[in-house]
Amino acid sequence: MRGLLTIALLLMAATIALFAQAPETKVSLIRENSAAKPGSSDTVGIRFEIPSGWHMYWVNPGDAGEPPRVQWSLPSGWAAGELQWPTPSRMVNAAGVDYGYEGEVTLLTPMRVGSSGGDLTANLRWLVCKDICVPQKSSAKTSIKVGPDSVDLAEKKAIAMAKAKLPDAMPASWKTSALQNSGQIILNFRPGIKVQQAIFFPADREVIDNSSLQKLSSMLRTTHLTMKKADSTTNITRLRGVLMVATAAGSNAYAVDVPLQ
């Protein structure tokens, strides 16, 4: 019994040591406008500077992990919309496949401007992972005045760069649809050009088997991307996520939200 207790204490000490050595993720807020008119719309970005070699998670983290969480403290009359997520990367590790970000990432939040200015504070919790996953938390603050529109050119440029990393709307001309059978989900689209590579990032958990190969079949007019269903998939009626497409003309990401027939 004493030996088991010693081992448990050693493991606990090792865990505490690992947490003590966890690198700091720098968090800050950037804003589209330094002053805005009451009732107008504005955009605030939550910028994470992730330590080298570590990563954090997308809205669907994949096989493990948790996405960042935010609680806003806002001046009277202000309202925050849903987080807008840049296109993630697919990261393979011993535990499976994760969807997330490395380096630096900015999550955008649309804001409805209230009648008075003041401090906008984001209270944040997130995970950073490498060989271990470490929960972190912090608060970030910025101030916005209410009045005639005024911009900080550097921050406005940073917001524009973050918006450019969001997926585009799926072109209506692509006639996107999705079908399912007992073991597969098939995403169909018609880009009008041969697709060289494609990968789908599901916005919801337990939709596809993240580790399985996604099979691309692309002809001149029609493209099919076949994915293995997750073993734990329940009754899903819509396919939501991001589709990365590469053609001879370049690559782009598109937001997908279609009925799953």
The full DSSP string for 65-79 is ----EEEEE--TT-E
Quick check: 8 pLDDT over 60?
no
Quick check: 162 pLDDT over 70?
yes
The count of other CB atoms within 10 Å of the CB of residue 82 is 9
pLDDT per position as a tens digit, 59-92: 999 998 999 999 999 998 999 999 999 999 999 9
Going by pLDDT thresholds of 50, 70 and 90, the confidence category of residue 11 is very low
Q: Which domains does the chain have, with CATH numbers?
A: 23-166 (2.60.40.1250), 169-259 (2.60.40)
Query: Which ranges in the chain belong to alpha helices (H)?
Result: 2-20, 153-163
Q: Which residues, in sequence order, are CB contacts of 260 under 8 Å at separation 6+?
A: 178, 179, 180, 185, 236, 237, 238, 239
Query: How far is the C-alpha of 98 from the C-alpha of 158, rounded, in Å?
Result: 26
Quick check: 4 pLDDT over 80?
no
Query: How far is the C-alpha of 123 from the C-alpha of 68, rounded, in Å?
Result: 10
Percent of the chain at pLDDT > 70 equals: 92
Going by pLDDT thresholds of 50, 70 and 90, the confidence category of residue 231 is confident
Going by pLDDT thresholds of 50, 70 and 90, the confidence category of residue 112 is very high
pLDDT at residue 34, as a whole number: 82
- Report the amino acid identity of residue 142: T
Query: How far is the C-alpha of 127 from the C-alpha of 133, rounded, in Å?
Result: 6
Q: Tell me if residue 254 falls in helix, strand or coil.
A: strand
Average pLDDT, the chain: 88
171-199: average pLDDT:
93
Quick check: 2 pLDDT over 50?
no
Lowest mean pLDDT among 16-30, 35-49, 123-137, 222-236: 16-30
Cβ atoms 178, 200 nearer than 8 A: no
pLDDT at residue 121, as a whole number: 97
User: What length is written for the chain?
Assistant: 261
